[in-house]
């Protein structure tokens, strides 16, 4: 059913900012307001009044039953879908010269689609909806934290599978297969980013994939998991060594673990995102890894795998102050040293004024034989 409280809050902010309507084109905000998902979510939330859903004729019956929305515009073709949106915009203009329409400017909004929308709607000025939505999405309510907790539990099941599967001779992709499967079997609804299994020289990548590379003795292997549960994500990353570790690997791992721990200790309401980085970087510096520090040790997570504050994408977000009820990850960037590879650890936390609660709960040991459940 529609979450009218969230719609009301968004409408209040839209009015304050002179935005006439929010045109929803992405899954995350569609789920946020309508608590259901579909392949091509399209809706218009005017600053005042009821939301309008734009959907395929074959989905009308179900949308009406599921949402109780009166105004459902039905399209039977892409051309008609565009016309429907144009018609909604025309119906809203009244005596204004231009309509100010908010659109999410993030990974789910392709430039070509936005250009098509602008060409079809010359009466529209498109603005970024972030000033309306960021404040709302940053603060998680109890139901959201519960869903992220569920995703975090699924991530832990995936990581346990990784520990049991990893060995010399298996490919990255074979490990990914087992991890992905175990997370789906645990109730997960797919992944927000492909399962990362990066080994050996590939462990030093900024972000990973899973390839047909055979995992070898002595390899560092980075496993990064972002499963979804009912749209919500949690992020859990661990690094393992195959076989016997060497001193350099151990030193890098200890440095990363201490840097992550220090940043977790610093994660409290009132602190700025950049303070987490200053804390983590000081540990790198102490250990002689200063030149390898990649800024952006923490980011928010929820209906997107990376959402505001997301300082590795928007460096300006490092000035945002962390507050009560945010859900953040700590440990995002890799410590990558040419010749050795990379290490990363990442966990997801619920920040409250009383305490910072870990949602991902998984041991962090570099050596596979240190895990007692293996």
Shortest gap between Cβ of 268 and a copy of itself (angstroms)?
A: 25
Alpha-carbon distance of 297 to 284, in angstroms, equals 12
Burial per residue of 80-112, b for 16 or more beta-carbon CB atoms within 10 angstroms, e otherwise: bbbebbbebbeebeeeeeebbbbbbebeebeee
Q: Dihedral sign, CA of 305, 296, 275, 317? A: negative
Q: Which is nearer to a copy of itself, 230 or 360 (CB)?
A: 230
| DSSP SS3 for 317 | helix
Which of 17, 35, 38, 170 contacts a copy of itself by CB under 8 A?
A: 38
Q: Which is nearer to a copy of itself, 59 or 269 (CB)?
A: 59
User: Token digits for 155?
Assistant: 């991530």
Which of 120, 168, 206, 370 contacts a copy of itself by CB under 8 A?
A: 206
Shortest gap between Cβ of 114 and a copy of itself (angstroms)?
A: 5
Which of 67, 221, 334, 359 contacts a copy of itself by CB under 8 A?
A: 334
CB 190 within 8 A of CB 233: no
Among residue numbers 6 through 25, which ones bind a copy of itself (CB under 8 A)?
A: none
Contacts of 177 (CB under 8 A, 6+ apart): none
Among residue numbers 98 through 137, which ones bind a copy of itself (CB under 8 A)?
A: 103, 105-115, 128
287 near a copy of itself, rule: CB under 8 A: no
CA distances from 64 to 1, 75, 179 (A): 10, 14, 37
248 near a copy of itself, rule: CB under 8 A: no
User: Token digits for 133?
Assistant: 């939505």
Which of 185, 217, 290, 353 contacts a copy of itself by CB under 8 A?
A: 185
28 near a copy of itself, rule: CB under 8 A: no
Show the site string, 52-91: x = touches a copy of itself by CB under 8 A, - = not: ----xxxxxxx-------------xxxx------------
Alpha-carbon distance of 62 to 163, in angstroms, equals 42
Shortest gap between Cβ of 191 and a copy of itself (angstroms)?
A: 9
Which of 20, 134, 180, 347 contacts a copy of itself by CB under 8 A?
A: 180
Among residue numbers 211 through 230, which ones bind a copy of itself (CB under 8 A)?
A: 211-212
User: Token digits for 260?
Assistant: 């992550």
How many other C-beta atoms can be found within 10 angstroms of the C-beta atom of residue 125? Answer: 13
Shortest gap between Cβ of 178 and a copy of itself (angstroms)?
A: 8
Alpha-carbon distance of 169 to 185, in angstroms, equals 25
CB 92 within 8 A of CB 21: yes
Residues near a copy of itself (CB under 8 A): 37-40, 56-62, 76-79, 103, 105-115, 128, 173-174, 176-177, 180-181, 184-185, 187, 189-190, 194-195, 201-202, 204-212, 291-292, 294-296, 312-313, 315, 334, 336-339, 342
């Amino acid at each position: 059913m529609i979450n009218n409280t969230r719609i009301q809050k968004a409408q209040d902010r839209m009015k304050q900012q002179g935005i006439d309507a929010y045109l929803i084109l992405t899954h995350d905000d569609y789920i946020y307001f309508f608590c259901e998902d579909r392949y091509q979510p399209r809706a218009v939330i005017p600053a005042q009044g009821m939301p309008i859903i734009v959907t395929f004729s074959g989905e009308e019956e179900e949308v009406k039953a599921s949402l109780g929305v009166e105004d459902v515009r039905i399209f039977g073709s892409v051309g008609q879908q565009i016309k429907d949106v144009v018609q909604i915009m025309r119906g809203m203009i009244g005596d204004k010269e231009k309509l100010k329409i908010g659109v999410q400017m993030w990974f789910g909004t392709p430039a070509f689609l936005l250009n098509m929308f602008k060409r079809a709607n010359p009466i529209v000025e498109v603005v970024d909806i972030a000033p309306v939505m960021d404040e709302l999405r940053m603060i998680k309510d109890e139901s959201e934290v519960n869903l992220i907790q569920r995703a975090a539990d699924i991530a832990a099941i995936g990581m346990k599978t990784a520990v049991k599967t990893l060995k010399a001779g298996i490919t990255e992709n074979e490990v990914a297969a087992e991890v992905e499967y175990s997370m789906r079997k645990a109730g997960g609804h797919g992944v927000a980013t492909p399962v990362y299994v990066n080994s050996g020289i590939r462990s030093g990548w900024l972000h990973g994939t899973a390839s047909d590379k055979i995992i070898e003795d002595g390899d560092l292997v980075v496993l990064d998991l972002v499963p979804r549960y009912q749209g919500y994500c949690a992020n859990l990353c661990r690094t393992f060594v195959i076989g016997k570790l060497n001193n350099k690997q151990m030193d890098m791992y200890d440095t990363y673990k201490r840097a992550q721990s220090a940043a977790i200790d610093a994660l409290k309401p009132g602190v700025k995102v950049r303070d987490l980085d200053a804390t983590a970087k000081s540990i790198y510096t102490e250990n002689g890894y200063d030149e390898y520090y990649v800024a952006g040790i923490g980011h928010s997570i929820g209906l997107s795998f990376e959402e505001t504050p997301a300082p590795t994408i928007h460096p300006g977000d490092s000035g945002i102050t962390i507050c009560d009820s945010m859900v953040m990850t700590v440990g995002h960037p890799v410590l990558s040293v040419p010749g050795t590879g990379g290490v990363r650890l990442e966990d997801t936390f619920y920040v409250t004024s009383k305490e910072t609660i870990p949602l991902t709960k998984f041991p962090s040991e570099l050596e596979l034989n240190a895990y007692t459940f293996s």
